[in-house]
Chains A and B, each alone.
Chain A
Amino acid sequence: MKTRRLLCVFIVMLSVAPGVTAQANDFNTVSEDMLRDPPPGDWLNWRRTDDAWGYSPLDQITSDNVAQLQLAWSWAMDDTGGQEAAPLVHDGVIYLPNPRGVIQALDGASGDLLWEYRPGVTPRLDGTPTSDNSGLPAGAFAGVGRGVQKNIAIYGDMLYAATGDASIVAVDARTGREVWRTAVADPDLGYHYVAGPIVADGTLITGINGCDRYKEDVCFITGHDPLTGEELWRTSTVARPGEPGGDTWSDLPLMFRAGSDAWIAGSYDAETGLVYWATAQAKPWARAQRGTAGDALYTNSSLALDPKTGEMVWYYQYLPGDTHDMDEVFESLLIDVGGRKSLFKMGKLGILWQLDRTTGEFIHATDIGYQNILDVDRATGRVRYRPGMVQELGIEIHMCPSTSGFKSWRAMAYSPQTRFLYIPITLNCERATFGPVDRIPGGGGTGPVRRINTEHPAAEGNLGELLVMDVTNGEIKWRHRTPSPINTAALTTAGGLVFAGDWDRHMYAYDAATGDILWQTRLPTSAQGFPISYLADGKQYVAMPVGIGGASWSTMLPNDLSPEIRRPSNGNSIHVFALPKR
């Protein structure tokens, strides 16, 4: 209702000032209020709104006319790394994160370049220079997961990005000029970012990655002053020895408490005043590798943080002592259900968790029924591993999902029209034999796994599925299976539509209520990234990122399990669709 009223206001504004063409020099400052309640045509947060719904209130493109959708323009992106872009849009300008820290501002109607930010590699913490981009062969950064820059943030007159070498940068949104750069951690220790910041209550907040290897420090989330980059607070995602929860790693010294990377951007609720950030699994992956069967706080948890201080107001750990690389780190959707202000989350296991986002209290869990690792008590949320599934080193287990997971960074979307969740899934299992790690500084890592990917018994030859669940009761409403993984986040729109794409270059528009495919097209390579919808010159567009790189769903599972499906090994780009001119 609220969004509908806003849309009306916006249409009135457009009629007062018709034909306002987006230009970088006409930049309208992005206020805190705008971030909390974005104009309908804007996409100001990586999932558009603080609640991470991935929902656009635009309704020019509807289930009645989507069949006419056609390519408006496309743009080739840097092919120097994994492409998982979550673009932003403000006043008809797309701010497009490319691999390796490059950001481009494009006219949303034409695709014309307004400016480009192309950074060099930053100095180390002690100020000594590292090599410049130009000194490195392009291939040096084209590996799995390398160069990924998922999301950026916009606030005031600036864009904010978190870099592959553990810095945060502020870039003038009008010009692309770098305003400040803050080195947050030492990239030589493995620290890096793949997810970008969010802005909540005037604080720039980012979670770091790269805590797989043993070192005398842990992963963390930091809050920064958006004007200067100054670090305001730092909250560890691992309980240190002697701290509350510190005994959940047994007596392991800090050096050997690894993992809990915070590699997906969080959500925010201005009413509870809390930022919701999740953490990844403990590392090495298996208990026997880590040397403790303890819960390993705060791995695989949701953390509710005060954005001003970083204080952890509550935490909820989904998988105490995870032992199979079952990340729960992904997006946190904030949806009110049954009068409860709730937080919904799904990790690799395909269990939909519902928490009370005010208190952190467990409300409900719905297992979609694909995993064979544990049983979850729907009333308490407590998990119990099935017999034989807490593995010994060197002993093969057959686990579903594989370490790739049924769910990954490809974020689900929510539609307030249907009250359904639209969840990108890959169906897979693995014969896995976990092996030992070197418990020495610099050792650790994920731990070795002799891995043989296998088809999921329920998959009927498919690797992909868009799974649709009713958020109010967990019922599965429809599913669309595809031979290759559903390889993008989902996008919902007020036109009654859902958009997603697969590894095999398809892009689909579905009827959100029924799952009917109303339109589809083929792309140059895999659909990959976060599709969005926006207005430029008063016209609705749908943008789909396309690309390669970025670990298992994209680089390993299809090669192993559906080798007959081929795609180009380059082609990072964005493709923008609209209704034909009348």
Chain B
Amino acid sequence: MISRPRSSFFVLGLLATATACAGPSVAQPGSPAAQSGGSLAESGGAESAVGESGSALAESVWAGIYSQQQAERGAAHYLETCSSCHSEDLRGNSNAPSLIGSSFMFLWGDRSLGDLFTSIQTLMPTNAPNSLPPQSYLDILAFIMESNGFPPGTSELVADPAFLGQIMITARSGL
């Protein structure tokens, strides 16, 4: 079971910090984060990061925002730390949701990568949340993206909350 991150203030804080750093960002189509259950703080934060200039492709999970090498590192971390519950093929077990396919899109579709990153980092693994280095969580995120068919690119996903916060997880390629 994945539940919503409780510490909205934490997300907001990260996003506020990141907005000042102005990572790559773009005009954002109407964010449905609130209607999909994201807190107001989360969607508000995402909105506040919108409007900076940047590549139109940068906001899409379809734009190649992680590298193959990173996904491979993530696969190793995943096998070590996550697979005992979520299974080697990411389809979960009776205590852990599937991280792939329609299940994944139901839980995370139209939410931001930032939401997912925060959730993984603050809740997982359940016996020792936030026990991995941030880079490992990012790599695992890259592996989950690869497993769901989002294409790799040339640069790695980095822990830039403003950037992650505006990347929406969408089912289809395109804006």
Contact = CB atoms under 8 A, between A and B. Distances in A.
B103 A144 contact: no
B127 A144 contact: yes
Contact of A213 (B6, B91, B106, B123): B91
Contacts of B80: 137, 139-140
A549 B84 CA distance: 12
A84 interface: no
B96 interface: yes
Given A548-B127, A560-B6, A144 B96 contact: yes
Interface residues of A, number: 44
Given A556-B126, A563-B6, A144 B92 contact: no
B27 interface: no
Q: Which among B83, B93, B104 has the greatest number of chain A C-beta atoms within 10 A?
A: B93
Interface SS majority for chain B = loop
A552 interface: yes
Contacts of A213: 87, 91, 93
A450 B94 contact: no
A569 B131 CA distance: 11
Contact of A552 (B1, B6, B82, B101): B1
Contact of B3 (A446, A448, A548, A556): A556
Contacts, number: 115
Interface string B96-120: 1110011110110000000000000
A446 B127 contact: no
A320 interface: no
Contact of A435 (B79, B81, B103): B103
Contacts of A212: 92-94
B95 interface: yes
Contact of B106 (A140, A435, A563): A435
B102 A438 contact: yes
B85 to A, nearest CB: 4
A442 B85 CA distance: 15
B125 interface: yes
Contact of B98 (A141, A448, A451, A549): A448
A547 to B, nearest CB: 11
Contacts of B82: 143
A447 interface: yes
Contact of B91 (A433, A443, A449, A552): A443
Contact of B85 (A144, A283, A450, A560): A144
Contacts of B104: 448
Contacts of B37: 433, 450, 452
Nearest to B36: A450
Contacts of A559: 123, 129
A515 interface: no
17 contacts: A140-B81, A142-B128, A143-B82, A143-B96, A212-B92, A212-B94, A213-B91, A435-B107, A436-B106, A438-B102, A448-B98, A548-B127, A549-B127, A552-B1, A555-B126, A556-B1, A563-B6
| 3 closest A-B pairs by CB | A435-B106, A143-B85, A448-B103
Interface of B: 1-4, 6, 37, 79-85, 87, 89, 91-98, 101-104, 106-107, 123, 125-129
